[in-house]
């Protein structure tokens, strides 16, 4: 099954998922208000004219209908405002810098393949892997994305929003995975659709398992 933003594995993706549900609820609310306003307007047109001797009855009915429709308009504007506010809040929250103590991993795309460098205490202790990288659960991680040849599109819906990786420009992704598991992202060379299946695998390990993985990769 393809990864979905509705099954978030990281805090950033959870914010996107929450924003989606807020926007969906606002959209449904707007639809119900529009349908309700149309229904009320149709009923109003079917109202019989006031009896003889009450010339102001129809005017009063029109004024009441205008107030009702005005409430529908205000409620619709509020629903749309909620949708916009949720989107803006989500964009700002996932764009904030990561806290101190973040684990920074270099991710380089070249010739339709990803290479990861997990830093050690010195360069000799760095761990270099292709396509797949391990990260510890519960720790903030910064992926520094670079491209050495062409523009790549990167999609990791269960972790964060989509990114464009452009040669010569630094792009960062901050993630904090909350549960162990394997997350498969997709990326592609924008110039060549045939390279659409360019996987990027992130494995979130509990801290003890992550430490064992580092030791094994360093030949310990």
Give the chain's domain count. 2
Q: 28 and 119: one domain?
A: no
Q: How far apart are CA 130 and CA 67, in angstroms?
A: 64
**pLDDT value for 81:** 80
Residue located via tokens 């452009």: 166
Q: Which of 95, 116, 150 is the last residue of a domain?
A: 95
Does 121 map to a domain?
A: yes
- Lowest average pLDDT, out of 67-71, 87-91, 113-117, 132-136, goes to 87-91
Q: 26 and 123: one domain?
A: no
Q: What is the mean pLDDT of the chain?
A: 76
H or E segment at 142? strand 141-147
Does 77 map to a domain?
A: yes
Q: 42 and 117: one domain?
A: no
How many residues belong to the chain? 220
**Hey, is 105 helix, strand or coil?**
strand
Q: 81 and 149: one domain?
A: no
Q: How far apart are CA 76 and CA 2, in angstroms?
A: 35
Residues 205-211 have a mean pLDDT of 92
Q: 90 and 110: one domain?
A: no
Q: Which of 75, 95, 115 is the last residue of a domain?
A: 95
Does 52 map to a domain?
A: yes
Could you tell me the pLDDT band of residue 193, with boundaries at 50, 70 and 90? low
Q: 58 and 128: one domain?
A: no
Q: 173 and 147: one domain?
A: yes
**pLDDT value for 1:** 40
Q: Which of 95, 112, 138 is the last residue of a domain?
A: 95
Does 175 map to a domain?
A: yes
| Residue 108: φ, ψ to 5° | -120, 130
Could you tell me the pLDDT band of residue 134, with boundaries at 50, 70 and 90? very high
Residues 127-148 have a mean pLDDT of 89
210-214: Cβ within 8 A, 24+ apart: 210/134, 210/135, 210/136, 210/137, 213/134, 214/118, 214/120, 214/127, 214/134
pLDDT at 28 over 50: yes
Q: How far apart are CA 90 and CA 99, in angstroms?
A: 18
Largest CA distance in the chain: 100
Could you tell me the pLDDT band of residue 100, with boundaries at 50, 70 and 90? low
Q: 69 and 127: one domain?
A: no
Q: 41 and 137: one domain?
A: no
Distances in whole angstroms, Cα of residue 119 to Cα of each of 76, 142, 168, 218: 51, 12, 22, 11
pLDDT digits 0-9 by tens, 32-91: 877 877 777 777 655 545 555 555 555 666 677 777 777 878 887 887 787 777 677 766
- CATH number of residue 110's parent domain: 2.60.40.420
pLDDT at 5 over 70: no
H or E segment at 78? helix 57-95
Higher-confidence residue of 189 and 102: namely 102
**pLDDT value for 136:** 92
Q: 193 and 115: one domain?
A: yes
Does 124 map to a domain?
A: yes
Distance of CA 97 to the CA centre of its chain: 16
Q: 213 and 145: one domain?
A: yes
Distance of CA 69 to the CA centre of its chain: 35
Residue 43: which domain range? 11-95
Q: 130 and 68: one domain?
A: no
């Amino acid at each position: 099954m393809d990864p979905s933003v509705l099954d978030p594995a990281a805090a950033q993706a959870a914010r996107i998922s929450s924003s989606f549900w807020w926007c969906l609820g606002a959209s449904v609310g707007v639809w119900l208000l529009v349908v309700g306003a149309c229904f009320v307007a149709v009923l109003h047109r079917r109202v019989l004219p006031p009896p003889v001797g009450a010339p102001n009855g129809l005017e009063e009915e029109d004024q009441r209908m205008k107030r009702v429709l005005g409430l529908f308009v205000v409620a619709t504007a509020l629903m749309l405002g909620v949708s916009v506010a949720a989107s803006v809040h989500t964009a700002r929250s996932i764009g904030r810098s990561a806290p101190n103590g973040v684990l920074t991993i270099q991710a380089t795309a070249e010739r339709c393949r990803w290479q990861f460098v997990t830093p050690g205490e010195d360069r000799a202790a760095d761990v270099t892997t292709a396509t797949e990288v391990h990260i510890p659960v519960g720790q903030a991680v910064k992926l520094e994305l670079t491209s050495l040849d062409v523009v790549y599109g990167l999609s990791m819906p269960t972790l964060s929003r989509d990114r464009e990786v452009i040669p010569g420009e630094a792009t960062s992704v901050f993630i904090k995975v909350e549960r162990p598991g394997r997350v498969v992202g997709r990326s592609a060379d924008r110039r060549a659709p045939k390279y659409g299946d360019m996987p990027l695998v992130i494995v979130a390990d509990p801290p003890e398992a992550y430490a064992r993985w580092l030791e094994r990769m360093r030949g310990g």
